[in-house]
Amino acid sequence: MLFFDNEDKNTNFFPHRRITERAKRMFFCAISYVIAQGLLQIFACNAYVISLICYIFEWDDRMKNRQIISKMERDKAFIL
């Protein structure tokens, strides 16, 4: 029978320990990357929706201002 000390056992004859540690790190890194990309997409989509809503409200205000100006012009033309 062969006798191995703990150092040899941990490094040479159980390589799957190092492989599983590396695989765990890669797995968690990949999972965190996917989560980060998902959050980025969600926030980007929300920013797009918020800017679209702001544009719609701004467009509504511009249309109201245009209607007020056109009403003032009509009143001025009616007076003249």
Complete DSSP assignment for 6-46: HHHHHHTS-HHHHHHHHHHHHHHHHHHHHHHHHHHHHHHHH
Question: What is the pLDDT tens value at each position of the chain, 80 positions in all?
Answer: 444 445 545 555 555 566 677 778 888 878 888 888 887 777 777 777 777 777 777 766 666 666 666 776 666 666 65
Q: Against a cut of 0.85, is the pTM above it? A: no
Give φ, ψ of 67 to 5 degrees: -65, -40
**Which residues, 6 or more positions from 35, have their beta carbon under 8 angstroms from its beta carbon?**
none
